[in-house]
Amino acid sequence: MKSCPKCNTRIVGSSPTCSACGVDLSSEFEATQLSDDRSRERTELMSSAFATGHEGGFSPGTVLAGRYRLIMPIGKGGMGEVYKADDLELGQTVALKFLPAAIAKDETALKRFRSEVRTARQVAHPNVCRVFDIAEADGVYFITMEFIEGDDLSMLLRRIGRLPSDKAIETSRQLCLGLHAIHEAGILHRDLKPANIIIDSKGKARITDFGIAGVESDLTRDDFRSGTPAYMSPEQLDGKGVTPKSDIYSLGLLLYEIFTGKQAFQFDSLPELLVKHQTTTPTNPSEILKDIDPLVEKTILQCLEKDPEERPKNALQVALMLPGGNPLEAAIAAGETPSPAMVAAAPKKGTLSLRTAGLVLAAILLALTFNAFFEYKYWVIPTEEKSGELLVARSRTIAANLGYPEKPADVKYGFALDAVFAEQGFAKNESLKNAWELMKTGQPGLRMFRYRESPQPIVPSASAEVTAQDPVMEVPGELRVLTDPVGRLLEFKAIPKKRSGPAGETTPTNWQQLFTEAGLDITKYEQLDPDHLPPVFAEEKAKWKGPFISDPSMSVQIEAAAYDGKPVWFQIIMP
């Protein structure tokens, strides 16, 4: 049995093109025999990638942009080849996805390539592959993204047929959460298929390849048919338009294959596939797998409804429909902050008796009373506090001193209370018995001043007011400053802009300036090996350990990162 070398669809007969993705099988590509030999698959993949690569090809050890050392090809994405590489600046393994040389000369294709980065960078989720940046070397464009050690789902299913029931449910739920995060960012994937899912070394499902992803509001009619036909929704195949529910249909096809080991629709030609997607219902999963959970079958078949309105309203609802599923618990276990929609959708188990409800109400009222007293007590601590207007000016000065002098289009600011640090940090640290006196100095900070600025209007998406997390910081040039009440820097974060000069000509980062803004003496701090992952893209990292400003007996750690010679991250970490 033969398979397409690009999308792994089984090839029946002697068709000159792949019925799923349209790849020419007679000239440019050759169909390869299916094999259970994992090492042979990888060898063929590597050989194919080098043979069909960019003009002149890439050899292992090649260094691009003075920073990325290629190790080996690892696959083909929707827009080009993918290589494993070493990031020599950060000492980390990354993946580089290339645009073929012929397309790189096409400005329309380059626009799409940049759009891929712009959309994919908006998503940060444990079940979605992270995308970092776009770069160019000698006319070749590539994306830098997270390298995930593991196998793609199509390869795994070819080897084992289908996933065991428990693992299938776990994997399906992870895919739902990842897809929900993508949709929450306003992005449609439009090419969900087994080859675009990686099962990492920890067994977690990761959604990859935003090669044809698009911001929903930016899609045009010409984009509607982008994707792999075998995993498209009827409306996408018909060119009628795509919505998040089109991805839900593709998700249903994925789940069908995960639980049964078979594609939902068997076909010999593309026209036959189009007819089946639009007019026929796939074989019930229970006819293939007798002991499949009825809830799983119901979930899959509802995702595969021809009418988008009959499908689940979102990926989160699909996760809730799966047996034993609570996406809220799954998100918390994965270290993810649940969205308001996820909290609202979490299942409610049972009801309380009148007596229990009364006790709970009394406990809540008592807690609120204590909290009000506790918060008032902290807010009335006398400090050398500056006014909000002065701290806005101070925050703008900090930003300018760190290399961001541009006047912002919008600014948001306000005071915040760190009661968690007050309750936990002080209680656990024996060296802080004089906590109340220290609080009067403004450090450690119970009251903090938060400042955000952006070259675009700052509009919250999930709440009535701007917070540290809403809206997500993603606009190049956007930054956040956190100070104590007297204006000393506690935290800084900036979304870097495009490099100001050629790679390799970066001005050395002035780490001293960060310490100056924080009121600290850098000479009193021991430099450590940086082992943290900054929350923004960076090419330099640094870490220190030393005394805190108000109490030399209190040891703190400081983490920082920079890009193009300018700080993009700074944080003082309390004990």
The radius of gyration of the chain from alpha carbons, rounded to an integer in Å, stands at: 27
Calpha distance 373→180 (Å, rounded): 40
Calpha distance 147→454 (Å, rounded): 30
Tokens describing residue 194: 């087994």
Distances (CA, A) of 258 to 85, 164, 170, 189, 327: 30, 9, 11, 19, 19
The total number of residues written for the chain in this structure? 575
Non-local (6+) Cβ contacts of 495 within 8 A are 473, 474, 475, 476, 477, 478, 479, 536, 568
Distances (CA, A) of 56 to 120, 187, 214: 29, 35, 31
Query: Which three-class secondary structure state does DSSP give residue 505?
Result: coil
Detail the DSSP E strand segments found in 77-169: 81-87, 92-98, 131-137, 140-146, 150-152
Dihedral, CA atoms, 353, 359, 364, 367, nearest 10 degrees? -160
Work out the angle at residue 345's Cα, subtended by the Cα atoms of residues 339 and 350, and round it to the nearest 5 degrees: 130
Tokens describing residue 131: 């995308």
Non-local (6+) Cβ contacts of 130 within 8 A are 123, 124, 145, 146
Query: Which three-class secondary structure state does DSSP give residue 35?
Result: coil
Phi and psi at 393, nearest 5°, equal -60, -40
Query: Which three-class secondary structure state does DSSP give residue 340?
Result: helix
User: Catalytic residues, which ones?
Assistant: 191
* DSSP secondary structure letter of residue 128: B
Distances (CA, A) of 390 to 180, 380, 449, 453, 486: 41, 20, 11, 16, 9
Calpha distance 58→72 (Å, rounded): 9
β-partners of residue 248 are none
Q: For residue 316, how far is the Cα from the chain centroid?
A: 17
**CB 301: neighbour CB atoms within 10 A?**
16
Instruction: Decide: 27 and 55 in contact? Cβ < 8 Å.
Output: no
